[in-house]
Structure 1
Amino acid sequence: MSRPWLPLLCAWLVSIVATGSAVFIGEVMGMTPCVLCWYQRIAMFPIALVLGMSLYAEDRRGAVYALPMALTGLVIAGYHSLLVAGLVPQAWIPCSAGVSCANQKLSIFWGLELPWLSFASFAAIAALLFVYLRGTRHDL
């Protein structure tokens, strides 16, 4: 029995967990996001909506629309992860005022910091969308 929609469902679930986690950390825990975190939220939040509508309507185009957002978020999260790891020079830090992008104060899951988790979420979503789109290519 073929389930071509399964990677799309998994990508949607990852985006729902990432979106819910970001809202929980910001609104319930009261942590103010840095500039790069805001950019990652801007990329992630619409993915949850687009993929949910795509699943409901059984429409492949939602994955096509969500993939560029996931790849954009992956690049931002990758840069943020390198910044937190200290591999990016201090002069390249985009956060000049407010919460520092380089000094993350929250680590979860055995010391993983939020930018690494964001990177993993965007990477998983992008990979799942590639699998889904490749598997449904014949439906065009």
Structure 2
Amino acid sequence: MSLTFLNFLVGTATLGLQICLLALVILYFFRQEKVERIIVKFALVSSFIFALIGMVMTLVYSEYFGIVPCGLCWLGRVFLYPQVVLFGMATYRKDFTIAIYSIVLSGIGLVIALYTHYLQMGGNGVLPCPASGVSDCARRYVFEYGYITLPLIGATLFVFLIVLMLFLLRARREESKLKV
């Protein structure tokens, strides 16, 4: 598979995920109880699968295609990779308490990803790129549909995880109200 074709596939998948995210956000604010129950039922396993795919894809880009991630991209990975293990354990144990931890990790990863995307779209950095001379934070390896970059793909994934965890938190909060 060529890098150009992979970029197209990943860009298209990201666009699809962004459309799903829009639907999820609308559903979050305009509650549909039946749909919400389905989302909550599959939130942990979906989060695990998407975080795992995100981790694998970052490794495919760096290890198979030889794209060296910049310092900020490495920081983004720091906040994604542990979530694969956490979601795996939470899915196995049906442990919804992961939600708050995932929101924090994803929130930090989101800020890093959005800043890196800003740099790749031509913005002037207020912080120095922590690259050690190997890879520039402003260099674009993926640019699909006129806006999708690798950092934006990460940002989309982080927002997806946050939204799913918000559904879990609300379900858990409502469940605890019913027990009282």
The TM-score, its normalising length taken from structure 2, stands at 0.69
Q: Deviations over 1:87-132 (max 9, x none)?
A: 2x2463323532100012x216545210111111111111111112
Corresponding position of 1:33: 69
Q: Deviations over 1:12-56 (max 9, x none)?
A: 222111111011111111111100110010000001110111010
Task: For structure 2, list consecutive stretches of 5 or more residues without a partner in the other structure.
Answer: 1-33
* 2:129 maps to which of 94, 114, 124: 94
Matching of residue 135 in structure 1 with residue 178 in structure 2: no
Q: Distance in 2 between matches of 1:11 and 1:68?
A: 15
* 2:54 maps to which of 2, 15, 18: 18
Q: Deviations over 1:41-82 (max 9, x none)?
A: 000000111011101001112222222101110010011111
Corresponding position of 1:70: 106
Would you say how many aligned residue pairs link Structure 1 and Structure 2?
138
Q: CA RMSD in A?
A: 1.9
Q: Distance in 1 between matches of 2:83 and 2:57?
A: 14
Task: For structure 1, list consecutive stretches of 5 or more residues without a partner in the other structure.
Answer: none
Corresponding position of 1:125: 161
Corresponding position of 1:55: 91
Q: Distance in 2 between matches of 1:133 and 1:122?
A: 16
More helix by share: 2
Q: Distance in 2 between matches of 1:72 and 1:81?
A: 14
Q: Which of 1 and 2 has greater Rg?
A: 2
Q: Distance in 2 between matches of 1:31 and 1:45?
A: 18
Matching of residue 113 in structure 1 with residue 149 in structure 2: yes
Q: In percent, how many aligned pairs have the same letter?
A: 25
Q: Alpha-carbon deviation of 1:8?
A: 2.4
